[in-house]
Amino acid sequence: MMRKLFKHTMSAALFLSAMSYSAHNAQAIELAADNCFAAGQQYAARQASTLVAAEATTQGGQNVCKVVILTQANNGERPKREVAYIPQ
Protein backbone atom coordinates (compact mmCIF):
# COMPACT_ATOMS: atom_id res chain seq x y z
CA MET A 1 0.00 0.00 0.00
CA MET A 2 2.77 2.44 0.99
CA ARG A 3 4.73 1.66 -2.19
CA LYS A 4 1.65 2.32 -4.34
CA LEU A 5 1.00 5.64 -2.57
CA PHE A 6 4.64 6.67 -3.08
CA LYS A 7 4.45 5.76 -6.76
CA HIS A 8 1.30 7.87 -7.29
CA THR A 9 2.74 10.78 -5.30
CA MET A 10 5.93 10.75 -7.39
CA SER A 11 3.91 10.55 -10.61
CA ALA A 12 1.84 13.55 -9.57
CA ALA A 13 4.95 15.52 -8.56
CA LEU A 14 6.65 14.78 -11.87
CA PHE A 15 3.52 15.75 -13.78
CA LEU A 16 3.20 19.07 -11.93
CA SER A 17 6.89 19.75 -12.41
CA ALA A 18 6.62 19.09 -16.15
CA MET A 19 3.56 21.35 -16.39
CA SER A 20 5.41 24.16 -14.60
CA TYR A 21 8.45 23.68 -16.86
CA SER A 22 6.26 23.71 -19.98
CA ALA A 23 4.49 26.88 -18.90
CA HIS A 24 7.82 28.57 -18.19
CA ASN A 25 9.23 27.51 -21.58
CA ALA A 26 6.09 28.68 -23.38
CA GLN A 27 6.41 32.04 -21.65
CA ALA A 28 10.12 32.27 -22.59
CA ILE A 29 9.36 31.35 -26.21
CA GLU A 30 6.56 33.94 -26.36
CA LEU A 31 8.89 36.62 -24.94
CA ALA A 32 11.61 35.71 -27.47
CA ALA A 33 9.08 35.86 -30.30
CA ASP A 34 7.91 39.30 -29.13
CA ASN A 35 11.52 40.50 -28.95
CA CYS A 36 12.22 39.16 -32.43
CA PHE A 37 9.13 40.83 -33.86
CA ALA A 38 10.22 44.18 -32.37
CA ALA A 39 13.79 43.68 -33.62
CA GLY A 40 12.43 42.77 -37.05
CA GLN A 41 10.28 45.89 -37.19
CA GLN A 42 13.28 48.06 -36.32
CA TYR A 43 15.46 46.30 -38.92
CA ALA A 44 12.78 46.65 -41.62
CA ALA A 45 12.33 50.35 -40.81
CA ARG A 46 16.09 50.97 -41.18
CA GLN A 47 16.02 49.22 -44.56
CA ALA A 48 12.84 51.05 -45.69
CA SER A 49 11.28 47.60 -46.08
CA THR A 50 8.28 45.57 -44.96
CA LEU A 51 8.61 42.92 -42.25
CA VAL A 52 7.28 39.56 -43.45
CA ALA A 53 8.32 37.23 -40.63
CA ALA A 54 10.37 37.12 -37.44
CA GLU A 55 11.18 34.11 -35.27
CA ALA A 56 13.57 33.17 -32.50
CA THR A 57 16.15 30.53 -33.43
CA THR A 58 19.73 29.53 -32.75
CA GLN A 59 22.72 29.85 -35.04
CA GLY A 60 26.14 28.60 -34.01
CA GLY A 61 24.95 28.16 -30.42
CA GLN A 62 23.79 31.79 -30.21
CA ASN A 63 20.18 32.92 -29.76
CA VAL A 64 19.24 35.02 -32.78
CA CYS A 65 16.17 36.38 -34.52
CA LYS A 66 15.57 35.22 -38.08
CA VAL A 67 13.95 38.16 -39.87
CA VAL A 68 12.46 38.14 -43.37
CA ILE A 69 11.83 41.48 -45.10
CA LEU A 70 10.65 42.65 -48.51
CA THR A 71 12.30 45.66 -50.14
CA GLN A 72 10.40 47.40 -52.92
CA ALA A 73 12.23 47.20 -56.25
CA ASN A 74 12.48 49.96 -58.84
CA ASN A 75 10.62 50.12 -62.15
CA GLY A 76 7.75 47.87 -61.08
CA GLU A 77 9.95 44.80 -60.56
CA ARG A 78 9.18 42.22 -57.92
CA PRO A 79 10.15 43.11 -54.34
CA LYS A 80 13.46 41.72 -53.12
CA ARG A 81 13.22 39.17 -50.30
CA GLU A 82 15.99 39.27 -47.69
CA VAL A 83 16.67 37.03 -44.69
CA ALA A 84 18.73 38.49 -41.84
CA TYR A 85 19.90 37.04 -38.53
CA ILE A 86 19.91 39.55 -35.68
CA PRO A 87 21.59 38.72 -32.33
CA GLN A 88 19.23 38.76 -29.35
Residue 20 clears pLDDT 60, i.e. is over it: no
Q: What is the pTM of this model?
A: 0.62
Q: By C-alpha distance, which of 72, 67, 61 is closest to 82?
A: 67
Rounded-to-integer distance, Cα 69 and Cα 54, Å = 9
Yes or no: say if 55 and 30 are a contact pair by the CB < 8 Å rule: no
Assess contact for 64 and 83: CB atoms under 8 A: no
Residue 24: band (very low, low, confident or very high) from pLDDT cuts 50, 70, 90: very low
Quote the CA–CA distance of 80 and 77 in Å, as a whole number.
9
| Percentage of residues of the chain with pLDDT beyond 90 | 51
Contact at 8 Å (CB) between 43 and 86? Answer: yes
Q: What is the pLDDT of residues 57-85, one digit of tens each?
A: 999 999 999 999 999 988 889 999 999 99
